A = this chain, B = another copy of it.
Amino acid sequence: MLDNAAELRHFAPMTHFGDRLIDAVRAHGPLCVGLDPYAERIPKLFGDPGPEAVGRFSEAVVARLAGRVAVIKPQIALFEKWGPAGLAVLADLVGAARDLGLIVILDAKRGDIGATASGYAQAYLGPDAWLPVDAVTVNPYMGLDTLAPWLELADAAGRGVVVLARTSNPGAADLQDLDAGGAPVWERVAAALRPLVDARVGESGWSSVMAVVGATAPDEARRARALLPAAPFLVPGYGAQGATAADALAGGRGGDGVVVNSSRAVLYSRAAAEAGDMAAWSNAFDAAVETAKSDLAAASA
């Protein structure tokens, strides 16, 4: 019976993703913990490097985050690295996280022509998804038609789509900042997304289509907000990549609509790395989460 209930919950259509997201962020703050289980950084406590240690570590992280943060963002690459066994671990983990009430954004950055994108979208947003998540990151390089299969399935099930606009890595400027008729390419992408965003605004005033806008460029976040007033932003680059809490929140609208990702600073604090047992690790991990939450709360006050 419990198993059935859990399964129904995974696959059943949900209420509007943008509304659910904003509610959760208002309740728990804007911190999203990026679940990037680098095998070589997982404390030895969780076992030797491999998919089992990735699973044990990720489960422990998810259990401690439940009720404390709104959103987790598993990075599929670090599970995919281990092959089918790693992806089976990810499926268990996502199920556990959603049962615990966490919103799960799968960081997959997929992007392909329609028929192919449909295969990916069915895997993650479809009614028979093997890895049913709340939203997925996608790459816009191949054009707006490649987003259609994602949007169709997301719309049908109260899920979201998160489109890369301006990323936070050092090389992001190579293509995204090319001047395309007086505005950088990423702004042209954001402007092109606006109709898709505005067509999907929920009761909260926020859309189920999000944009990735890096924290390392707060001026750009403000421009992105002007271009996409209703899109919740997923903001990478806070913490280990050098952006401050104020930078990370620069794209907010009335203190709302921003989800700030932190991966390494939360997952791999020195204290957690040095913990000798699970109790010490739990304390160190909780402290790193609270540090990031307080830092963001102070900057939004």
Contacts and interface: CB of A to CB of B under 8 A. Distances in A.
Interface of A: 36, 38, 75, 77-78, 80-85, 87-88, 91, 107, 109-117, 119-120, 122-123, 130-131, 139-146, 164, 167-176, 178-181, 185, 188-189, 192
Contacts of A111: 109, 111, 139, 141
A141 B122 CA distance: 24
A141 B82 contact: no
B185 A169 contact: no
B174 A192 contact: yes
26 contacts: A75-B112, A80-B119, A80-B120, A81-B120, A83-B123, A83-B131, A84-B87, A84-B130, A107-B112, A107-B116, A109-B142, A111-B111, A113-B169, A140-B141, A140-B174, A142-B171, A144-B174, A145-B170, A145-B171, A146-B169, A146-B171, A174-B192, A175-B185, A175-B189, A178-B181, A179-B181
A197 to B, nearest CB: 15
A88 B130 CA distance: 14
Given A176-B141, A179-B181, A180-B178, A113 B80 contact: no
Nearest to A114: B169
Contacts of A112: 75, 77, 107, 109
